[in-house]
């Protein structure tokens, strides 16, 4: 009886390791496709949680093969049409007769408009810490850098292995979330 229990326990543990490895392999396969492509495009519905208030934005995004990102704000209507770009070297906004002010998050280091770029940068090269199934989606947890104060991103992939949702956490608290639509590798 003890041998049978030990055998069943070993099979369960090995099956768990196998499915965990498959989940990580899926995440790495997406990264490989991103790095091998000429870029990507997607729409992100961003929610910025300031604790005492929440702000919502929708942006169309296009990333290049180096990880730089261009975006156009689609909503809210009051700032629609504003364009910008973000890369490792910095960012730029283009607008006519509209000024933007965003309170910064995480010790005044991140603005909501940088969320899609952080998402893309992390997908392309962050430190993959875990992966597993959740509600029919693959949930991948990635640190955005190897630094001690790294942001953590939880990214959900659908059955086609494309991102559909992401949360950006700082010190374990969600500060930004993205609903990702029409993600396409170019």
Tell which residue, 113, 118, 92, 91, has the closest CA to residue 103.
113
- Dihedral in degrees, nearest 10, Cα atoms 36, 91, 142, 21: -10
Interval 41-86: pLDDT, tens = 999 999 988 778 888 999 999 999 999 999 999 999 988 888 988 8
pLDDT, mean of residues 111-120: 89
- Dihedral in degrees, nearest 10, Cα atoms 75, 78, 81, 86: -70
Tell which residue, 117, 83, 116, has the closest CA to residue 98.
83
Interval 134-156: pLDDT, tens = 999 999 999 987 666 678 999 99
Q: What is the pTM of this model?
A: 0.81
pLDDT of residue 91: 76
- Beta-carbon contacts of 76 under 8 Å, excluding residues fewer than 6 positions away, are 56, 57
pLDDT of residue 37: 95
pLDDT of residue 111: 78
Sorted by where each starts, the structural domains of the chain and their CATH numbers stand as 19-181 (2.50.20.10)
Distances, alpha carbon 173 to alpha carbons 3, 46, 169, 177, 186, in Å: 45, 16, 5, 11, 33
| pLDDT score of 164 more than 50 | yes
């Amino acid at each position: 009886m003890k041998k049978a229990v030990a055998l069943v326990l070993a099979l369960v543990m090995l099956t768990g390791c196998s499915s965990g490895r498959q989940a990580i392999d899926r995440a790495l396969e997406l990264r490989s496709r991103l790095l091998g492509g000429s870029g990507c495009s997607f729409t992100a519905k961003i929610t910025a949680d300031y604790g005492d208030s929440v702000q919502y934005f929708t942006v169309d995004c296009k990333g290049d093969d180096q990880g730089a990102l261009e975006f156009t704000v689609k909503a809210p209507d009051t700032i629609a049409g504003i364009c910008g770009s973000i890369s490792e070297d910095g960012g730029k906004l283009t607008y006519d007769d509209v000024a933007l002010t965003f309170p910064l998050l995480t010790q005044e280091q991140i603005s909501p408009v940088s969320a899609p770029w952080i998402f893309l940068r992390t997908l392309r090269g962050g430190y993959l810490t875990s992966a597993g199934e959740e509600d029919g989606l693959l949930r991948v947890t990635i640190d955005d850098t190897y630094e001690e104060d790294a942001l953590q991103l939880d990214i959900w992939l659908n059955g086609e292995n494309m991102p559909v949702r992401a949360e950006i956490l700082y010190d374990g608290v969600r500060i930004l979330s993205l609903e990702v639509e029409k993600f396409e590798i170019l």
